[in-house]
Chain A
């Protein structure tokens, strides 16, 4: 069955770009660790979107398969990342990313 509305691939890519930029901005500009984390997820999903879109464009399933891997890895990453954030919060009573600059040279 043919789709009723054919959304051109350009739009998916543009949406993906917008989402990526929003995520990047979030990572770079925000101080709250959870927000940054969410922004990272946003960037990942923008990439997923682009992959799915291109997969559809070319009629291949490679991209789709890849997206599943990305989502799996992201889920694992979330588990680890949230655990880290909880641990940091317990230690410092804060998740302000700017307060964590022990790596300053």
Chain B
């Protein structure tokens, strides 16, 4: 078991192999073959992760750093003291993430084999899915910020590729406002993919700056060097020894240099902050705690992009244009949690920067509120879940900001299960409604509905409980888990976050704790309400369309989907039990307390177990149940009938609020007005005025073109035509003139030639005889 950690490259290379096989042979394998390869690759990764988990338990949770075979020096520039190795890190945090990614990922791969049935681009979809696994595994297994960044960018790329997977989808939105916005042809998926990519660029820019600053400050990007023990409060005995050993030789030398070879970022941060060192930036220097605050704030920008926090969350709801398995895997369970992982991984830095942590907490808190509020006013089944994801990510980020790293990771794990379950459930519903629509259409009814029918619009559903019992039961489990109802998974994790916020606020007396607790509690109530609304609108009442009446969960290929739902429902029910707080009722005797937190504490040095707040738990469950009851009163008791409006839309007291939520609080419009619009105008100005009018018309056409023409005219007329041609032509004319005179000599009469020969001969003879003749005459 000691050698098991050496297997860790498999979690990256198994999906890589899978995607290469499908890339090259996908055309010939058929749907079953492609699915087998892709699911097999994911399962191999899952098996590897399980082995790693077992080896961690067997070896006493010792973290292991594994060098990538064949690649010992990834980036190594000795002259600049840059030495970044491509290393994998096996510790409790990375193994937790691996298990979530590979576990949920395998289930979703399996689900997608049914969901994507019949798609002409079937192999490509699984190539992308496996590619996503490759990058996500790189992200979570890297032992330094740069490998993590490679994964971070890679999952962004996969997100882009998969959102715009149906890039040519001719989608006409049912909502006239959206139809107006996107046009009837609606390259909605391409636009959504582009939006996700561009918004993420802003976040990635922040992360990259943070990574650069980290490197400048610490001279390395490794989290911990191989064999290094974290210096932290809970390792006090070990820390003293380690501390002395590490600090003694370092005293004479400045920070960065030799320390960087022995010590990773986090331990250096602990040491430097204790020393109160300054970081040299050439012309100026900053105290270490300011630098760490800056680094963490840059990281926060990255988190807001990838994990869809205020202000960069706007891409996530649009990303739901992609296929539903993608929404479940990338945009709910795994990729969007990368930001939370980043904060938890950097918990030493965030712990050392209270300001950043407070900002993180507030950002997360208000994201949770805003996401929950908007979700209450959406019609699209997946948009509701998307905003719910935004909201739940807000919970996690808020928890991480409050220092409740274990609670954040716990919620990440439970959320991965129940949100994947809900998304996949919604995928089944959409699939079934679409199927029902085709079925109804095949009978020649409602032909005029064809062009505007939206199978994702909850107004087109209703009464699916009887037609789709498996989906209904599992969706109910997911809903209760998300709403935080005892004993489902969401109850444990959300309650722990609320309890931690309460502790931070009322026990430690920090302002962000009070705010976070109050706001998150409201957001939790929102959660219960919008999930109740969705459940009652989709599954209860009477079917509102022919499509809903003909919906069917037993069509070909859907067995894979419903089976996945059952497995995930089991997970959503039970996964909360991994981290039951101490002193909670009967559970104290049955299940080990906060096992998950203990597991994480071996890596996340500032993680701490939450204590049970019995009163709070009762209050939260009561609040959730009452909100579901409220939703039942509004949407369930008197079901929405075909063609009618939302009850909140017609009630005068709630009309405005509902419209505000339905319009997504005008975030997109605000961004359009303040960023996109001015940007487009600036781009237009640059293109039309600066580039065309100034550069093209003035600089090129007037200055360059005219100058060139002037020079050319000068060279052409006087110099080329006059001087050069004059000389050449003049010479030719001269020779012509001479020749004209010379030709007269050529009379053509033989005797003239003969005479000239004779005369020539006479002359020659005379010349030869000249000396003789002169002798004769002279002498």
Contacts and interface: CB of A to CB of B under 8 A. Distances in A.
Chain A partners chain B: yes
A83 interface: no
Contact of A101 (B749, B754, B758): B749
Contact of A105 (B746, B754, B755, B758): B746
Q: Name the residue in B750, B755, B758 with the highest tally of chain A Cβ atoms < 10 Å from its Cβ.
A: B750
A105 B745 contact: yes
Contacts of B748: 100-105
A29 B749 CA distance: 11
A28 B751 contact: yes
B3 to A, nearest CB: 107
B751 A103 contact: no
A36 B750 CA distance: 10
A2 interface: no
Contact of A27 (B742, B747, B751): B751
Contact of A28 (B744, B747, B755): B755
Interface string A19-42: 000001001110000001000000
A97 interface: yes
B743 interface: yes
Contacts, number: 31
A98 B749 contact: yes
Contacts of B746: 103-105
A65 B599 CA distance: 130
Contacts of A29: 751
Given A24-B758, A28-B758, A104 B751 contact: no
Nearest to B757: A27
A24 B759 CA distance: 11
Contacts of B750: 36, 97, 100
A100 B747 CA distance: 10
Given A24-B758, A28-B758, A101 B747 contact: yes
Contacts of A104: 746-748
A46 B758 CA distance: 15
A28 B754 contact: yes
Contacts of A102: 748
Contacts of A24: 758
Contacts of A100: 748, 750
Nearest to A101: B748
Given A28-B754, A28-B755, A105 B749 contact: no
A29 B751 CA distance: 8
B744 A27 contact: no
Contacts of B751: 27-29, 97
Contacts of B745: 105
A103 B751 CA distance: 12
Contacts of A98: 749
Contacts of A105: 742-748
B733 to A, nearest CB: 18
Nearest to A97: B750
A101 B752 CA distance: 11
Interface in A72-105: 97-98, 100-105
Nearest to B743: A105
A98 to B, nearest CB: 6
Nearest to B758: A24
B748 to A, nearest CB: 3
A61 B606 CA distance: 133
B755 to A, nearest CB: 6
Contacts of B749: 97-98, 101
A24 B757 CA distance: 11
A24 B745 CA distance: 21
A52 B745 CA distance: 38
Contacts of B747: 101, 104-105
Nearest to B751: A28
Contacts of A103: 746, 748
Interface in B287-339: none
Nearest to A30: B751
Interface in B721-770: 742-751, 754-755, 758
A65 to B, nearest CB: 22
A26 to B, nearest CB: 10
A38 to B, nearest CB: 14
A103 B743 CA distance: 10
A85 to B, nearest CB: 12
B162 to A, nearest CB: 90
29 contacts: A24-B758, A27-B751, A27-B754, A28-B754, A28-B755, A28-B758, A29-B751, A36-B750, A97-B749, A97-B750, A97-B751, A98-B749, A100-B748, A100-B750, A101-B747, A101-B748, A101-B749, A102-B748, A103-B746, A103-B748, A104-B746, A104-B747, A104-B748, A105-B743, A105-B744, A105-B745, A105-B746, A105-B747, A105-B748
Given A28-B751, A98-B749, A100-B750, 15 more contacts: A24-B758, A27-B754, A28-B755, A28-B758, A97-B749, A100-B748, A101-B748, A103-B746, A103-B748, A105-B742, A105-B743, A105-B745, A105-B746, A105-B747, A105-B748
Interface of B: 742-751, 754-755, 758
Which 6 A/B pairs are nearest by Cβ-Cβ distance?
A101-B748, A105-B746, A104-B748, A105-B743, A103-B748, A28-B751
